[in-house]
Every structure is written in C-alpha cells, then in structure tokens.
C-alpha cells in the first residue's frame, strides 16, 4: 500500500511538472492573451483533477494500488499513463540539481536592501490580496552590484558601469510611489549608462505618470531601452514614443553604434519573438563591446551566432516563487528555469538576466525584485583586482 501511495504521489508530481514545462514553453512564444488564458486554465484543471483521476482509477479500483493490488494488476494503458507522468519527476530532479549547481550564477554584492513594505503609499490604488501573503517580497527592492569580465582585446582600460533594470510592469499595485523610489535608487547608482530591457507597464493609462521618472535619470547618464512582451499587449508604439520623448534611445530591432564613457559600443536590440525580428548582427568592427539587449534570454543562440559579448535580459522575473532546495518552478522560457535570473556564460557570451522590478501578479517569494549595477571590465584589465 505504501508503494502504491508513493507511485500515486510521484505520478501526481510528475504530471504537474509536465504541465509546468508546457506552460513555460508556451509563454516563451508569441501567443494571444486568449490562448495564454486557455492554457493556464488547462494547466490549473490538470493539476487539480489528474491526481484525483489517478486516485480513482489506479488507487481505489478493485485490485488498485491502495487496495492491495500491485503495478502489474493495472491495465497496460494505465501503466503507460502513470509511467509517463512519473517520468516528469526526472525533469524536476534535473531542475533541482541545476539550481544547486548554478548557485555561483546568483552571486552578487548587495549594495542596499530597500524595504518599502511598511510604507502605505507604495501599495498602490488597488492593493492586491497577494500583499497579504506571508513572505511576499514584492515591496522589497534589492540594489546590487555584479562584475563581468569580457574577453575582448583592445578595449578601453576603464570599467564600464551599466545600471540594468527590467520588467517594471507598472500597474495598480505596487503604486507609482514604489516606482518613484526605485528610479531614485537607480539615479543614486550614478552609472555610465542606464539600460531598460522591457515590460514597461500593464496599465497604459499610467504611461504619462512614469515618463518623468525616465526623464530624471538622464540628468545622470544616457538611457537605452527595448520593449517586452507585455508592452506588445498594448499600443507598443505609443509606449516606445513616450519613452523616446523623454530623451531615451530606442534600441528595439536596431543596431546602434555609440560611445559611452569612452567605450566604443555596438548595441543591438531584440524584442523577438513578440515584436519584429532579431536585427542582423553587426559586422565585426573595432568595438570594445558588442552588446545585445533582448527582453528574453531565449535569444541566447542568436546572441552567440552574432558574436555578442554580453546580453542583457529580463522577462523571467527570477521565477517569482523560489522554493527551498527545488528553486523556481515557473519561468516563461524555452529553457524553463535555467535562466530564471542571474549571471550566466554560454560559450563566449555573458548573460545577465534581471529578476526585474515588479510583476503583474505582485507576488514574490524568496525572489527579491532587483536593480543591478553591472561593472564591465575586459580581460587583461586588472583595475577591479587592484581596487
Ligand atoms: Fe515581465
């Protein structure tokens, strides 16, 4: 009976993992809101009802696993279904191992932890019931520093300081005051450049309210941005034009050659698969940095083929809910939770995947919102080692 119970539990867990894989992969694609909702309902129903069906047809039937029967007493079709479901546990196990092995990717120096949760004005006009969930970190912002060494010859000796932020998802909750404070923290980083990698808002009516925040940052350094999949749900060109009107430079679908703090940089922007296509990678030139802004880290292979040094992304929100030992479960990527958040390297490509500033569903467990100061140095440049 205990073995039977274990089989049913493993089948239920594995079943859930298969549906998680499906939902992660589908949300990495360009799908309509209606399709996304249908898949979500299917996923929710499958997580609830499939274990009940397993219990009825495999556990409680005559000679069922919970009534003295064994595996061989089950019909072959049921054995196949349960076997397939249990195989899902292997994927979950692999994700857990990968999460543990990737611990160095999540290393960062915390500059400041801003706990805004006691301040009522950051809760917004319609505080979400999620704010009452114990351990919800949505109103705690981590300001951190991460270092990246790019293997490219002939670059300037100075360190390049990029303030990278992503996934604002401005909506009713958190409120505008949360974003005001977040932009204040960005300004205090006094970087060489600000880079925003998309998902500006989930309420287009608030666009005008946040534009002054963007504009204010330009008193410190120039800003470059791309849009994300949530921007594509609304009038994306209005959002783009709004941010451009503040003085920020749009990089979406473009290749730009620029000079930032003495560094010659070629910068491309990808909003694929939601808006446009990946731009044709720039020809090799005498640049200190080949930089790609891509809302999703799913453009990893394009970035490698395009010989970019560094890709800045967001989209996956760090998984939003990070379970002890297991790690994140949901991450809308074709790579699943592999690039949920952190610093990664694939071949010569460095990747920074921001956990983002907020999210449409304001719930984060063990997954702080973040803004990051990226200090880029080049191989052979020992400035950071000496300091
Ligand atoms: Fe997002």
What does 184-215 look like in DSSP terms, one character per residue?
A: HHHHHT--SEEEEES--BS-GGGHHHHHHHHH
Q: Quote the CA–CA distance of 97 and 327 in Å, as a whole number.
A: 9
From its phi and psi, is residue 280 left (phi > 0), alpha (psi between -120 and 50) or beta? beta
Instruction: Give the pLDDT of residue 386.
Output: 42
Cα–ligand 1 centroid distance for 166 (angstroms): 8
Peptide bond into 39 cis (omega under 30): no
Instruction: Give the pLDDT of residue 383.
Output: 45
Cα–ligand 1 centroid distance for 314 (angstroms): 7
Cα–ligand 1 centroid distance for 95 (angstroms): 22
Query: 121-170: per-residue pLDDT in tens?
Result: 888 778 889 999 999 999 999 999 999 999 877 566 789 999 999 999 99
**b/e per residue, 36-60, with b = 16+ CB within 10 A?**
beebeeebeebeeebbeebbebbbe
**Cβ atoms < 10 Å from Cβ of 70:** 12
Say yes or no: 155 and 293 in one domain. yes
The tokens of 8 are what?
């049913």
Cα–ligand 1 centroid distance for 296 (angstroms): 9
Strands 140-150, 160-165: pairing kind: unpaired
Cα–ligand 1 centroid distance for 216 (angstroms): 23
Q: Who surrounds ion ligand 1 at CB < 5 A?
A: 167, 199
Say yes or no: 240 and 358 in one domain. yes
Q: Quote the CA–CA distance of 294 and 224 in Å, as a whole number.
A: 12
Instruction: Give the pLDDT of residue 33.
Output: 82
Total-model pTM: 0.92
Instruction: Give the pLDDT of residue 32.
Output: 83
Cα–ligand 1 centroid distance for 300 (angstroms): 18
CA-based R_g, the chain, Å: 23
Say yes or no: 295 and 214 in one domain. yes
Query: 267-283: per-residue pLDDT in tens?
Result: 999 999 999 999 999 99
Cα–ligand 1 centroid distance for 242 (angstroms): 19
Instruction: Give the pLDDT of residue 155.
Output: 62
* CATH code of 129's domain: 3.60.21.10
Cα–ligand 1 centroid distance for 360 (angstroms): 8
Say yes or no: 248 and 308 in one domain. yes
Say yes or no: 124 and 228 in one domain. yes
Cα–ligand 1 centroid distance for 230 (angstroms): 7
Say yes or no: 62 and 136 in one domain. no
Cα–ligand 1 centroid distance for 108 (angstroms): 21
Residue entry with tokens 């999210």: 359
Residue in 174, 175, 7, 163 with CA at minimum distance from that of residue 78? 7
Residue in 384, 367, 56, 363 with CA at minimum distance from that of residue 353? 367
Cα–ligand 1 centroid distance for 199 (angstroms): 5
Domain boundary among 101, 127, 148: 101
Cα–ligand 1 centroid distance for 201 (angstroms): 9
Cα–ligand 1 centroid distance for 219 (angstroms): 27
Say yes or no: 223 and 365 in one domain. yes
Cα–ligand 1 centroid distance for 211 (angstroms): 19
Cα–ligand 1 centroid distance for 64 (angstroms): 45
Half-sphere exposure of 162 (CA within 13 A, CB side): 26
Cα–ligand 1 centroid distance for 316 (angstroms): 7
Residue 271 and residue 253 in contact, taking contact as beta carbons nearer than 8 Å: yes
Say yes or no: 148 and 40 in one domain. no
Cα–ligand 1 centroid distance for 14 (angstroms): 27
> Mapping DSSP to helix (H, G, I), strand (E, B) and coil, where does residue 181 land?
helix
Say yes or no: 87 and 137 in one domain. no
Q: Quote the CA–CA distance of 371 and 162 in Å, as a whole number.
A: 11
The tokens of 301 are what?
């292979």
Cα–ligand 1 centroid distance for 317 (angstroms): 6
What are residue 116's phi and psi, to 5 degrees? -95, 0
Strands 140-150, 109-115: pairing kind: antiparallel
Instruction: Give the pLDDT of residue 382.
Output: 47
Q: Quote the CA–CA distance of 71 and 36 in Å, as a whole number.
A: 37
Instruction: Give the pLDDT of residue 299.
Output: 98
Domain boundary among 101, 125, 153: 101
CA distances from 274 to 31, 148, 207, 285, 353 (A): 8, 28, 20, 29, 18
Instruction: Give the pLDDT of residue 156.
Output: 65
Say yes or no: 221 and 113 in one domain. yes
Q: Residues of the chain whose pLDDT is less than 70?
A: 154-156, 380-387
Domain boundary among 101, 132, 152: 101
Cα–ligand 1 centroid distance for 326 (angstroms): 22
Domain that holds residue 267: 108-386
Q: Quote the CA–CA distance of 144 and 107 in Å, as a whole number.
A: 10
Cα–ligand 1 centroid distance for 197 (angstroms): 9
- Reported as type and span, the H/E element at residue 352 is strand 349-353
Say yes or no: 298 and 165 in one domain. yes
DSSP state of 269: E
What are residue 260's phi and psi, to 5 degrees? -125, 115
Cα–ligand 1 centroid distance for 362 (angstroms): 11
Instruction: Give the pLDDT of residue 166.
Output: 98
Cα–ligand 1 centroid distance for 245 (angstroms): 23
Domain count, the chain: 2
Cα–ligand 1 centroid distance for 24 (angstroms): 13
The tokens of 135 are what?
């351990």
Say yes or no: 256 and 133 in one domain. yes
């Amino acid at each position: 009976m205990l073995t039977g119970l274990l089989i049913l539990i493993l089948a239920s867990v594995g079943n859930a993992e298969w549906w998680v894989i499906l939902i992660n992969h589908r949300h990495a694609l360009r799908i309509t809101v209606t399709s996304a909702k249908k898949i979500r309902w299917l996923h929710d129903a499958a997580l609830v009802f499939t274990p009940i069906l397993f219990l009825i047809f495999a556990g409680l039937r005559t000679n069922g696993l919970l009534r003295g029967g064994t595996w061989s007493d089950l019909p072959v079709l049921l054995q196949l279904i349960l076997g397939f479901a249990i195989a899902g546990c292997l994927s979950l196990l692999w994700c857990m191992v990968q999460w543990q092995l990737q611990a160095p990717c999540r290393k960062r120096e915390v500059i400041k932890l801003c706990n805004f949760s006691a301040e009522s004005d950051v809760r917004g006009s319609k505080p979400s019931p999620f704010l009452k969930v114990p351990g919800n970190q949505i109103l705690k912002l981590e300001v951190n520093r991460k270092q990246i060494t790019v293997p490219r010859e002939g670059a300037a000796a100075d360190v390049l300081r990029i303030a990278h932020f992503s996934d604002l998802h401005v909506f009713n909750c958190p409120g505008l005051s949360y974003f005001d404070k977040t932009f204040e923290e960005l300004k205090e980083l006094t970087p060489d450049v600000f880079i925003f990698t998309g998902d500006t808002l989930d309420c287009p009516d608030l666009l005008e309210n946040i534009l002054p925040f963007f504009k204010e940052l330009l008193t410190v350094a120039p800003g470059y941005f791309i849009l994300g999949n949530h921007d594509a749900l609304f009038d994306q060109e209005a959002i783009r034009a709004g941010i451009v009107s503040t003085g920020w430079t749009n990089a979406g679908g473009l290749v730009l050659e620029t000079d930032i703090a003495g560094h010659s940089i070629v910068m491309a922007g990808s909003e694929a698969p939601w808006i446009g296509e990946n731009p044709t990678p720039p020809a090799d030139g005498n640049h200190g940095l080949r930089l790609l802004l891509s809302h999703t880290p799913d453009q990893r292979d394009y970035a490698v083929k395009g010989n970019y040094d560094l890709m800045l992304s967001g989209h996956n929100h760090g998984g939003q809910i990070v379970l002890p030992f297991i790690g994140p479960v949901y991450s809308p990527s074709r790579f699943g939770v592999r690039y949920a958040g952190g610093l990664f390297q694939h071949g010569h490509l460095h990747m920074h995947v921001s956990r983002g500033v907020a999210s449409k569903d304001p719930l984060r467990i063990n997954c702080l919102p973040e803004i990051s100061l990226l200090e880029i140095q080049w191989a052979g440049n020992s400035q950071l080692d000496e300091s």
